[in-house]
């Protein structure tokens, strides 16, 4: 009986340890999403300047697509996250992006993200607002 109890305790401890080891929290997934978004954004600007063609950024299913000259990069959004309806961002052939604010929402972290494209240089800032 004692052996069964010890084996059960070891098995349960191992399961808990493995679960905690592979579990990534929602905030980390969202941070990774924004880090990857930034990489694709910069690549989109560079591609537009080099190819002299526009880059289009839009949502398809649960992915953000960066499309330029027949090539595209697909960035999967974390579960529970969505962008505003009809997300459409255009990077002009000279790398210019018109100033505008775009919204993303996360049910998992109760966060509203505002991506504000700034005037000149194709840069943006992310602002986070928490809601209940």
Domain annotation for the chain: domains and CATH numbers: 26-130 (3.55.40.10)
For 48-97, what is each residue's pLDDT tens digit?
Answer: 999 999 999 999 999 999 999 889 999 999 999 999 888 999 999 999 99
Residue linked to tokens 């954004």 = 41
Query: Is the confidence at residue 22, as pLDDT, over 80?
Result: no
Query: Is the confidence at residue 40, as pLDDT, over 90?
Result: yes
Of the candidate ranges 14-28, 72-86, 109-123, the one whose mean pLDDT is the lowest: 14-28
Cα(63)–Cα(96) distance, integer angstroms: 23
The residues, any chain, with a CB within 8 Å of residue 49's CB and separated by 6 or more, are 93, 94, 95
Report yes or no: 55 and 69 within 8 Å, Cβ to Cβ: no
Q: Residue 25: phi, psi to the nearest 5? A: -75, 165
């Amino acid at each position: 009986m004692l052996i069964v109890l010890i084996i059960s305790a070891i098995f349960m401890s191992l399961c808990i340890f493995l679960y905690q080891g592979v579990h990534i929290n929602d905030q980390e997934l969202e941070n990774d999403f924004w880090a990857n978004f930034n990489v694709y954004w910069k690549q989109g600007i560079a591609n537009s300047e080099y190819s002299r063609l526009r880059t289009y950024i839009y949502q398809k299913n649960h992915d953000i697509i960066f499309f330029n000259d027949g090539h595209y990069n697909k960035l999967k959004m974390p579960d529970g996250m969505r962008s505003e309806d009809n997300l459409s961002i255009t990077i002009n052939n000279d790398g210019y992006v018109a100033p505008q604010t775009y919204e993303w929402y996360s049910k998992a972290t109760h966060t509203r993200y505002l991506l504000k494209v700034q005037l000149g240089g194709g840069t943006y800032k992310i602002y986070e607002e928490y809601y209940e």
